[in-house]
């Protein structure tokens, strides 16, 4: 077994045992450890801002209710990701039909290197930091124009740095589909960024 994975599993077991033993600070620790992951789903998939807090609370209520049945067949964060994803889907199904386009790009392509939010270091560190912040803001703005599912996958893969297998486990999507959606998301993102660049040059 991978040593790092074993350490994560052991940490998960200890945290879960503390929660089940009735230690409220342990559940607060779980929330602190996973709130960024939960936010990736809620903020990317839920279009109505006023509903996001309620959905996040619903996620952690479900986590607390179902924690005694957690069997450590995956990382705790992956399990919470599944609950969050399914909760968001259920919300969307109640609000409106969710139509997922069939993918048509090469399902066997590799997503490639992760998006670099940091520019290469140079002589002027302050200028570089400003450029990094501006670049990140531009990319984030472009990502927000993608369909919700694409935003979610981009966030999980490039920002949360989850592996393809973890994303597949959370979303129940085949690996080929995830690869294709990431590929299409990147293509759309490139088009959006090129349009922004042309607009700035006018």
Per-residue confidence at 106, pLDDT binned at 50, 70, 90? very low
Question: What's 53's DSSP letter?
Answer: H
Annotation: CATH topology of 125-201: Arc Repressor Mutant, subunit A (1.10.10)
For CATH 1.10.10.10, list the domain ranges present in the chain. Answer: 125-201
Instruction: Identify which has the larger pLDDT, 112 or 88.
Output: 88
Residue 105 main-chain phi, psi, to 5 deg: -85, 170
The verdict on pTM exceeding 0.85 is no
Taking the C-alpha atoms of residue 65 and residue 48, their distance in angstroms, rounded to an integer, is 26
pLDDT tens figures, 15-67:
999 999 999 999 999 999 999 999 989 988 888 888 999 999 999 999 999 99
- The answer to whether 23 and 44 have CB atoms below 8 angstroms apart is no
CATH class of the domain defined by 3-95: mainly alpha
For CATH 1.10.1740.10, list the domain ranges present in the chain. Answer: 3-95
Taking the C-alpha atoms of residue 4 and residue 6, their distance in angstroms, rounded to an integer, is 5
Longest dimension (CA), the chain: 63
Residue with tokens 């989850």: 162
CA distances from residue 187 to 144, 146, 169, 190, 192 in whole angstroms, order as listed: 14, 11, 24, 5, 9
Token pair in block for residue 24 = 């409220």
């Amino acid at each position: 077994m991978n040593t790092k994975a074993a350490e994560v599993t052991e940490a998960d077991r200890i945290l879960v045992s503390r929660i089940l033993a009735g230690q409220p600070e342990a559940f607060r620790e779980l929330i602190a450890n996973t709130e960024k992951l939960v936010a990736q789903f809620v903020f990317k998939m839920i279009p109505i801002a006023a509903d996001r807090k309620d959905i996040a609370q619903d996620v952690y209520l479900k986590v607390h209710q179902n924690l005694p049945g957690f069997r450590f067949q995956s990382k705790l964060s992956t399990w919470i990701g599944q609950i969050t994803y399914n909760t968001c889907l259920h919300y969307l199904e109640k609000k409106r039909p969710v139509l997922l386009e069939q993918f048509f790009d090469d399902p066997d392509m590799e997503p490639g290197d992760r998006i670099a939010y940091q520019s290469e270091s140079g002589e002027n560190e302050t200028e570089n930091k400003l450029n990094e912040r501006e670049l990140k803001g531009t990319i984030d703005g472009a990502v927000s124009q993608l369909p919700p599912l694409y935003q979610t996958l981009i966030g999980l893969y490039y920002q949360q740095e989850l592996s393809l297998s973890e994303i597949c486990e959370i979303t129940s999507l085949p690996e080929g589909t995830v690869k294709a959606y990431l590929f299409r998301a990147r293509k759309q993102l490139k088009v959006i960024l090129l349009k922004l660049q042309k607009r700035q040059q006018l």
